[in-house]
Each structure stands twice: as structure tokens, then as C-alpha cells.
Amino acid sequence: MEQSAARVPDLVPIRYGRMLASPFTFLRGSALVMTADLARVPSSGIFVQACGDAHLSNFGTFMTPERNLIFDLNDFDETYRAPFEWDVKRLAASAVVAARDNGFSEREARASGRTAARQYRLTILEMASLSFLDMWYTRTNPERYYQSILRRGEKKFGASVRAVLDKAYSRDHLGALDRFAYNDHGRWRIQTEPPLVVQVPGTTDDPGVVARALEDYTATLPPEFSAFTRRYRLVDVARKVVGVGSVGTEAFIVLFIGDNIGAPVFLQVKEAGHSVLEAYGQPDLHEHQGERVVFGQRLMQAASDPFLGWFRGSGQRGLDYYVRQLRDGKASFDVGSLVPAGLTRYIEVCGQVLARSHARSGDAPAIAGYLGRGDVFDAAIEEFAVRYADQTVRDHAALVQAEADGRISASRGL
């Protein structure tokens, strides 16, 4: 509710509605709640550039600048310096909650939490044995992962992986044009879908405001990207509701059209507020919150979107924003559709990715030494994840009660 006070009032009920859907969606939207809980327990004291919101649905595919598809973390709104185990605990807790939401047995749910911890530990041990440069260049190739699934004979999960990969290859800017825009007498416009996609009056009518924002943004890109502003023209802007935890913050999609053959480029502009970790982590050097997000993403991902940049809004609130491509091979797994074996494999690869991300910014040998080669860490995280899954059910029930009492209003099904 404290977060909601600073968000777009009309969108807050949508956020609550999405969080009310299940304990898993509640967990997705309550990074601040879990961070406050984590800060009250002892920590390892080994800091990394943390994601801050490393639940199962914040991993997915995207295209590298070399046009190769990879699988990695894909949400960095909360990234900040923090103890490494905070991300591991959030990942493991989300695994247990997801398993329970999917109707798995308690034994399978417990195993899901342990799998996250075990795979993280094993991958950190592997990263600690590599040179820093070799570690830096490691990445998860989803096509190779798909082939490994087939070799194991796991055909059902293999079909799920194939479907995600095929979807990723189809998600490009041209496809986004068909999905989000229409041609209005020779001019492309973004298609509205109230209340999730709405026009923003005046954004394309004030060339001074648009030019300043675009200039500030492109100044944060590599110099060669200055050509972008010469070859593409802005044609429309719309506000678009995204995610669960982000609902209510300012988020927009921006359509550019190329001047030569009319090729589209969709960018996503998202408000960058202060990280939920800020009150509990180490001091951060980035005064601009958009720069903080971009820095964390570039540091943690094996490869990052070349369009990543930031700017500060010129309105009365002076909000910070970051910018990225809307659709460029981006696809993710429907965690709720996975059977036990498939969820286990998915948790494994998420644990691997998280460990590699931490190794890029932290001291992998120190983390490896702390974790050790035995299963003490695995068992401890499993126990934590189960208990926090129980707490998430109680917290979700409290939100349900808050709606029943009239303290919050929720819009469901959006």
C-alpha cells in the first residue's frame, strides 16, 4: 500500500487484481515485502550485484546483438548490491510456491526449493574454477539446452521448450507492429486496449519534449547508435501496463518507423524508481535510477540489449526512466503449465543462470568457499523456501482479506 501511494491511481487496482490471482502472483508482486523479511535475518556478508527480484518468471529468452538467442535473467528493476543469498532465497521460495500452485505434492515442492539451491551451488563451484575471462563468456544457449532435454528422453518438457523457442524467434519488431499497431490512412498508430494500452495525449504533439527525451536517451547509448535518431522517426507513444510488481509505475511503448523502407522499431520506456534493496544493501554510486537499472543489467546478463539507455523526464515529477527493446526474441515459460519433471529442469537452468550472473559481479571463489561441496546449504535453503512459501500463503490471504474489508480495490482478469 505504501508503494501504491506513489503509483498511477487508475492502475493500482490492476496490480492488486494480478497479485490476488494466486500465492505465486502475489510473490511476484511483493519484492518489497520479501526484501524487508530478508533484511531481518543474518546474512553471509558476501555481496554481489543482485537482481533483487529473482523469481522463476523473471527469466527468459532474448536476442543478443549478434542475433543469437540466449536464456538469461530479464528483469532488473530492483537490481542493487546485496548479499548473494537474497536472490537464491527468492528463487527457491518462488520454486516451492510455484510447485504448490501447480498442485504438486509437498515432497515435490520441497525438492523444487532444494533444486534451486543445489544447482546454484554447483554452478558457483564451476565458475570459481574458471578464469574470470572464461567465466565472463559463459552463457546459456537454449538450443543446446533443448538438445540436452531430447537426449534425456524428456519429450513432454522438450515440446514445451521447443514451443518457447519457436515463439521467441517469431517475436520481432515486425510482429510487434502487427500486434500493437494499425495503419491509419498511411500513418502507423499504436492500437489502444483500455485500460492496459492507452494513448498519452500530447506526447507526440510537443516536439520539444520529445526531442529532449530522445536526445538525452541516445546520449547514453554507444556513439554509433546516434545514427538511430537520423534513420528513424517517432510516430506514436502509448502507456502500457506490464508485469505484476511494475503495474502502476509509468511504462510506455514507443513506435519508431525507419525512413528508408518503413521498418518498425518498438522501444519500451519504464519508470525506474528506487530499488527495494536500497534501504538494506550497500551504498550505490548511481544517482540516476535508470542508469542503476541499465548498469545492473549489463553487468549481470551474458549479453545485453544494445538499445539499453536512460533519461530523466521533464515533467513536474522529474521521473527517471530506462529504455529497452519491446520485442527482440523475448519469450518465457508458463511456469503454471509445467509438470514436476519439467519444472525441475526449468529450476535447474534458472539456478545456473543466477549463479553465473552473480559470478560476473561478485567473488565466485569466496561464495564457493562459503557454500562448500556438501549439501548443508541446499538443505538450509530448502527449509527456508518451504517456510517462506507458507508465509506467502498467509500474506496472500491477508491481501484477500484487505479486499474483502474494502481497504483495497482490485480489478481482476486484466
Q: Tell me: the pLDDT tens digits for 142-167? A: 999 999 999 999 888 999 999 999 99
**Predicted pLDDT of residue 247:** 95
Last residue of some domain: 325, 353, 370? Answer: 325
pLDDT at 31 over 60: yes
pLDDT average, residue stretch 352-379: 97
Q: Give whichever of 171-175, 257-261, 262-266, 387-391 has the largest mean pLDDT.
A: 387-391
Q: Percent of the chain, pLDDT > 90?
A: 85
Q: Is residue 202 part of a domain?
A: yes
| Residue 409 in domain | no
- pLDDT for res 206: 58
pLDDT at residue 183 is higher than 90: yes
Same domain? 148 vs 195: no
- Phi–psi pair at 8, nearest 5 degrees: -65, 115
Same domain for 161 and 243: no
Residue 205 confidence (pLDDT): 53
Which residue range(s) make up the domain with 265? Answer: 173-325
Question: Hey, what's the cell of 209?
Answer: 519534449
* pLDDT at 16 (0 to 100): 97
**Do 149 and 10 share a structural domain?**
yes
pLDDT(202) > 80: no
Going by pLDDT thresholds of 50, 70 and 90, the confidence category of residue 18 is very high
Q: What is the DSSP string of 76-125?
A: -TT-EEEEHHHHHHHHHHHHHHHHHHTT--HHHHHHHHHHHHHHHHHHHH
CA distances (Å), 349 to each of 109, 116, 235, 356, in order?
17, 9, 40, 11
The pLDDT, as a whole number, for residue 208 is 62
Both 127 and 155 in a single domain?
yes
Domain ends where: 325, 351, 376? 325
Mean pLDDT calculated for residue range 313-322: 83
Q: Do 204 and 92 reside in the same domain of the chain?
A: no
Q: Return the C-alpha cell found at 382.
A: 530448502
Answer whether 410's CB lies under 8 Å from 145's CB: no
d(CA 266, CA 149): 33
Residues 46 and 179 in one domain: no
**Is 344 inside any structural domain?**
yes
Average pLDDT over residues 187-193: 94
Categorize the per-residue pLDDT at 290 as very low, low, confident or very high, splitting at 50, 70 and 90: very high
Which among 325, 346, 377 is the end of a domain? Answer: 325
Least confidently predicted of 20-24, 170-174, 212-216, 263-267: 212-216
Does 204 have pLDDT greater than 60?
no
- 364-384: average pLDDT: 97
Q: Are residues 279 and 377 in the same domain?
A: no
* 14 and 162, same domain (yes or no): yes
H or E element in which residue 311 lies: strand 309-312
Over the stretch 392-404, which tens digit does the pLDDT of each residue have? 999 999 999 999 9
**Highest mean pLDDT, choosing among 19-33, 241-255, 279-293:** 19-33
* Same domain membership, residue 362 and residue 238: no
User: Is residue 259 a contact partner of residue 232, using CB atoms and an 8 Å limit?
Assistant: yes
Query: pLDDT digit string (tens) for 43-85?
Result: 999 999 999 999 999 999 999 999 999 999 999 999 999 999 9
Q: Is residue 254 part of a domain?
A: yes
| 66 assigned to some structural domain | yes
Q: What is the mean pLDDT of the chain?
A: 93
Q: Is 311 part of any domain?
A: yes
Q: Is residue 411 part of a domain?
A: no
pTM of the entire structure? 0.95
Hey, how many other C-beta atoms are within 10 angstroms of the C-beta on 337? 11
Clarify whether residues 187 and 236 are in a common domain.
yes
164 and 18 in one domain?
yes
Residue 261 has pLDDT above 70, yes or no: yes
Query: Do residues 127 and 33 both lie within one domain?
Result: yes
19 domain residue, yes or no: yes
How many domains does the chain contain in total? 2
